[in-house]
Amino acid sequence: MIARAAALDRRIALALALGALALGLLLPHVLYVGLATDIVIWALFAAAFDLLLGYTGLLSFGHAMFFGGASYVAGLLILRAHWSFFPAVAAAVLAATAIAALVGAIAIRRQGIYFAMITLAFGQMLYFLANQFGDWTGGQDGLQNVQRPTLIAGIRLDNDTLLYYIALAAAVLGVASVLRVVNSPFGRVLSAIRENEPRATSLGYRTSAYKLVAFVLSGALAGLAGALFVIAHRFTSLDTLDWHTSGEVVIMTVLGGIGTVFGPLFGAPFYLIINDRLSTLTTSPGLVLGIIFIIVVSVFRRGMIGELVYALRRRRHVEHVAPGA
Amino acid sequence: MLLTATRLVKEFAGFRAVDGVDLRVPAGATLAIIGPNGAGKTTLFNLLSGFVKPSAGSIAFNGNDITELDAASVARLGLVRSFQITSVFPHVSVRDNVKIALLAKHPQARSFWDSASAADFLDEPADALLDKLRLSAHADRLAAELPYGRKRALELAVTLALDPLLLLLDEPTSGLGTEDVDPIIELVAEAAQGRTVVLVEHNMNVVERLAQHVVVLQYGKVICEGSYASVHDDARVVEAYLGGIDA
Ligand SMILES: Nc1ncnc2c1ncn2[C@@H]1O[C@H](COP(=O)(O)OP(=O)(O)OP(=O)(O)O)[C@@H](O)[C@H]1O
Ligand SMILES: [Mg+2]
């Protein structure tokens, strides 16, 4: 039976992975390429966020610090030091990793709302610092006119469509990493900790260390998304460090389905496309988005993909029980 | 002595749930702690297993001072506890519950860049343990779906998976029907071979069959201890249980 359940889960996962990939290949043909690139970047950001929220149960309200922090690091290295794509992205990811290790070491023992508040506080602190050190960060103006870096010798990423596929490839690698981690033995331990932390402790697991690793991995991948953001937009600003950015990634993850990895891949386009359409129709897209969010979350309590996976699993269960009953 | 607790005190906002308890557990012994509801038995277990820090007193285990040690580290030294209220991983299969417990001793638990099959080598020991606890038929069900009696058995399986030096069992038979109690007694008796066990138990039949030594707790204090027979006839114990112990 578990073999069967696992096989079903594998089939669902495969179908969702192919669906997400197909969506990724289709997007630049149906949307303008800038929006398509944003979707890919935010999908990666949200999947990274889900690694933390869905698999450790920790709600961070400061993930903008990794996304925005990495965007500034990559932006500065490209703007001032003319670094090429791979080194700039790698350095930005390392910076996000370092920030996550530092903040995580302090925050990880807190639970629930305290964890959310302390991560929010650190996020705001980074925002404040970025605003203060205007000589470096451009202050309120942000980093403007960040030229596109060279990919490899001779190839500059000026072509937006080429950049889209580079971002897509990076996102695929990032999401594959998340999947690898959540399905590893370590990922199983994480799930156990989320389900019953005292029991995991009683078995000798130092649960804080496991949660810290998840936090750092999540921050690193959020940093990858942030580095892609500055390259795609040719600028970054304090908005990327704002708590509003941390909130948006929560919404995308919840819309898609917490703890599904694939959910955020669909939650991000859903959110961004509606946001894009709304901003041409109304002056207060936030309000309409809020209402849509409330409706979706009340109808699909597990998120859109979460609800789908749940329904498929249930059907399997019913099919399996019914003949014998 | 494998375990020595000295003048252990736990105060909750001025209320002494454990009030100067001395406990000596020789290696290889099976010891029972009994006492009325609220006597402080579970709190004592929480102290011994590092889940709660004592207000005063000290705990030594296997030559280490573990008074200030965190719960995970205590477990790693071989002092492992079960829970009075069944505590398993509900949305994980029964087999995976045991595998997660077995995994705790292996470095693979930390490998986040390995496929799930890196833990496959634990399938065999997990199935052996499930077989021993008569859980094989349920191996692929979610722990949450188990009937209560089987859940208690899984609680024991998860605890035994760590092959502890000292096993703390908090009411292993609580809430079980008589037909489920006997198998648990056999299992605990078997687990106690070559191992040290301390169990909290309300069922005097279980205490009589398993324990060589009985400690009676009331209002956080040890009011008497000795063999089952001597404790059973002690006037203070009968008094503590108001109405007496019916064995
Ligand atoms: N965290 C806590 N905060 C405050 N009081 C507590 C706490 N834990 C236990 N107590 C109190 O300490 C006393 C002892 O509780 P404990 O659970 O240790 O009793 P017990 O002997 O295990 O009882 P039972 O047989 O019902 O399981 C009780 O009065 C309980 O209310
Ligand atoms: Mg108790």
- Are both B29 and B54 inside the same structural domain? yes
Q: Is the pLDDT of residue A4 over 70?
A: no
- Are both B181 and B158 inside the same structural domain? no
- Are both B222 and B177 inside the same structural domain? yes
DSSP H helices in chain A: 2-30, 33-56, 64-81, 85-107, 112-132, 134-137, 160-182, 185-195, 197-202, 207-233, 243-256, 262-281, 285-299, 304-321
- The one-character DSSP state at B142 is B
The CATH number of whichever domain residue B28 belongs to comes to: 3.40.50.300
- Are both B191 and B215 inside the same structural domain? yes
- A interface test, pick of B112, B154, B158, B160 with most A CB neighbours within 10 Å: B112
Which pLDDT belongs to residue A2?
Answer: 46
- Are both B16 and B114 inside the same structural domain? no
Residues ≥6 apart with Cβ < 8 Å to A323: none
Which pLDDT belongs to residue B245?
Answer: 47
Confidence of residue B44 (pLDDT cuts 50, 70, 90): very high
Question: Hey, is the C-beta of A159 within 8 angstroms of any chain B C-beta?
Answer: no
Q: Which of B135, B163, B191 is the last residue of a domain?
A: B163
For tokens 């979610």, name the residue.
B142
- Are both B108 and B220 inside the same structural domain? no
- Are both B210 and B233 inside the same structural domain? yes
For ligand 1, atom 29, the nearest C-alpha belongs to: B38
Q: Is the pLDDT of residue B109 over 50?
A: yes
CB count within 10 Å of CB A274 equals 16
Q: Which of B139, B163, B187 is the last residue of a domain?
A: B163
Judge contact between A251 and A293, C-beta under 8 A.
yes
B147: tokens are 């009937």
Q: Which of B148, B163, B178 is the last residue of a domain?
A: B163
Domain span at residue B141 reads 87-163
d(CA A103, CA A211): 12
Say how many Å lie between the CA of residue B26 and the centre of ligand 2: 23
Domain count, chain B: 2
B chain contacts of residue A181, beta-carbon cutoff 8 Å: 112-113
- Are both B178 and B232 inside the same structural domain? yes
Q: Is the pLDDT of residue A6 over 80?
A: no
Ligand at shortest distance from the CA of B216 = 1
- Are both B72 and B33 inside the same structural domain? yes
- Region A2-324: CATH code: 1.10.3470
Ligand at shortest distance from the CA of B43 = 1
Q: Does the complex come out with an ipTM higher than 0.90?
A: yes
- B interface test, pick of A199, A210, A309, A313 with most B CB neighbours within 10 Å: A199
**pTM recorded for the entire structure:** 0.92
Confidence of residue B239 (pLDDT cuts 50, 70, 90): confident
d(CA A73, CA A138): 13
- Are both B130 and B202 inside the same structural domain? no
**CB-CB under 8 Å, A191 with B89:** yes
Residue A195 CA, distance from chain mean position: 22
- The one-character DSSP state at A33 is H
Q: Is the pLDDT of residue A291 over 80?
A: yes
Using one digit for the tens of pLDDT, what is the confidence trace for B143-172? 999 999 999 999 999 999 999 999 999 999
Which pLDDT belongs to residue A7?
Answer: 67
- Are both B142 and B103 inside the same structural domain? yes
SS3 content of chain B, % helix, strand, coil (to 5): 40, 25, 35
- Are both B159 and B49 inside the same structural domain? no
Confidence of residue A313 (pLDDT cuts 50, 70, 90): confident
Question: Hey, is the C-beta of A191 within 8 angstroms of any chain B C-beta?
Answer: yes
Using one digit for the tens of pLDDT, what is the confidence trace for A138-160? 999 999 999 999 998 888 999 99
d(CA A157, CA A168): 14
